[in-house]
Amino acid sequence: MVVTGSTDGIGKAYAIELAKRKMDLVLISRTLQKLNDTANEISDRADSRISDPKVSQMTRMLLPHMKQRKRGMIVFVGSIVQVFKSPYFVNYSGTKAFVGHFVNCLTREISHHNIQTQILIPSVVDTNMSKGDHFMRKMHDWLRAFAYPTATTYASWAICTLGWCKFATGYWFFDCTKVFSIMGENLGIMPFVLRQILRFSYGSKVIN
């Protein structure tokens, strides 16, 4: 199993969950030292074999091996913002939308090799990336525990969808918010709701 972004947040927690299930891992990250530290940590916690290739080598080394074995699974992490119109997240949502389309195209290309793909589209997870979220910090603890799962909690839920669905939020609360978001977008109120959340989170000086 190949895990990109494996040294922090969801990627790291997901890699640990996979290792607990005795899966052999290929870890990918931009920082070599953090990659080595993560590999050592996972090796200490679970009996799994780990490789750590450069990102540029991933496609070249991954698919031929899986095609030869005629089986495999590739999991990508997108974002809920790729599903909806997301003002003020243009670059981020656009990038994640590319990931979604890339996965759809790749799935068709490799399906006859018995290689499966999955894309996870989480909402906000309590990681270093979301530490500045004022909206999250102002929530009551009991609500924040449900609405903003830790990376470990998210990974433990998300991994249960592996092999069952190709497109998943990966967490029960995100499924609920996705339903309400779809309803809000269909009613035309989603941009207004998102705008108010961003005003509260980042201040009126940032979001006008």
The domains of the chain are located at 2-172
d(CA 77, CA 159): 12
Range in 26-35, 92-101, 162-171, 184-193 the model is least confident about? 184-193
Question: Residues 193, 199, 204, 206: is their CA dihedral positive or negative?
Answer: negative
Residue 1 burial (CB count, 10 A): 18
CATH architecture under which domain 2-172 falls: 3-Layer(aba) Sandwich (3.40)
pTM to 2 decimals?
A: 0.66
- The predicted pLDDT at position 47 comes to 56
Contacts of 156 (CB under 8 A, 6+ apart): 13, 17
pLDDT at 158 over 80: yes
